[in-house]
Amino acid sequence: MLNLIIAEAALELVPSEISGHATVRNDARRRGIDPAEILLDRSIHHAAMLRLKEDYKRGRPDLVYLTLLTVTSTPLYQSGAVKVYLHTRDDLVLDFMEQTRPPKSYSRFRDLMQKSLREKPESGLITVRESSIPGLLNRTRPDLVVGLSVQGKPVKLEDLAGRLTGAKRPAVVLGGFPKGHFTPETTKVLDTLLRVDANPLDAHVVAARLVYEVEKLSRAQR
């Protein structure tokens, strides 16, 4: 079982400090919901976000959507061999039950994420709990924790897939944010930090390639 952890993801509800901003209020009114129930989204709330700390790492539900859809559409995931955890920068962890597929429609995906972050369900296909990355690893106890970042040491994806399939409970940590790097809190619990390309790649591109290489190797070993 490959544990895939999307870390520090740019997914959160609109923080109260900007809930009164015009771009947020207009969006809330148009959708007929409360500002506090809306996913922060740079493509809509850009002007309001300029006030936020580390705004360049925040408000990118599209990246989270692309990464989740990419992974959950693969045969390896659908066979139950990949477990997905989505960790947000606010230290919430969304735990997807094996083989659960999020909605393909973006608006339905967005609504599901809003509901999950708001209601923090303790049971069901997606559960939510407050947890840091160290806390998550402490609970799930992987025997190998690989972080992927352009700051890491170069590795061929095929070789990485080999190391992962050689472990019992490997975990791969991917950044769920558009720019910047893992926080020190995340970095310090990694066994190794690797990069799979000389250039920064979007998380969904890395995720697609990683799952594919692991899937190829798993088939070859059967």
* Closer residue to a second copy (CB): 63 or 133: 63
How many residues bind a second copy (CB under 8 A)? The answer is: 30
Task: Name the segment binding a second copy (CB under 8 A); options: 18-26, 159-167, 169-177, 195-203.
Answer: 195-203
Task: Check residue 190 for interaction with a second copy (CB under 8 A).
Answer: no
Task: Check residue 51 for interaction with a second copy (CB under 8 A).
Answer: no
DSSP 193: E
Q: Of the candidates 65, 67, 59, 46, which has an alpha carbon nearest to the alpha carbon of residue 108? A: 65
Task: Check residue 105 for interaction with a second copy (CB under 8 A).
Answer: yes
**Rounded to 5 degrees, what are φ and ψ at 167?**
-90, 160
Task: Name the segment binding a second copy (CB under 8 A); options: 49-57, 61-69, 119-127, 187-195.
Answer: 61-69
Q: Of the candidates 88, 87, 11, which has an alpha carbon nearest to the alpha carbon of residue 42? A: 11
- Count Cβ atoms within 10 A of the Cβ of residue 99 and give its class: 0-12 exposed, 13-18 middle, 19 or more buried: middle
List of residues 6+ apart from 138 with CB closer than 8 A: none
Q: Which positions from 145 to 174 touch a second copy by CB under 8 A, shown as an x/- string?
A: ------------------------------
* Closer residue to a second copy (CB): 75 or 80: 75
Task: Check residue 212 for interaction with a second copy (CB under 8 A).
Answer: yes
* Closer residue to a second copy (CB): 71 or 128: 71
Cα angle 148, 86, 9 (rounded to 5 degrees) comes to 65
User: Which helix (H) or strand (E) covers residue 167, if one does?
Assistant: none
End-to-end alpha carbon distance in the chain: 15
Task: Check residue 204 for interaction with a second copy (CB under 8 A).
Answer: yes
Task: Name the segment binding a second copy (CB under 8 A); options: 9-17, 66-74, 92-100, 113-121.
Answer: 66-74
CA pair distance 212, 210, nearest whole angstrom: 5
Task: Check residue 114 for interaction with a second copy (CB under 8 A).
Answer: no
Task: Name the segment binding a second copy (CB under 8 A); options: 105-113, 117-125, 145-153, 187-195.
Answer: 105-113
Q: Of the candidates 172, 169, 161, 171, which has an alpha carbon nearest to the alpha carbon of residue 219? A: 161
Interface contacts to a second copy, rule CB under 8 A:
30, 41-44, 60, 62-63, 65-66, 69-70, 73-75, 103-108, 197, 199, 201-202, 204-205, 208-209, 212
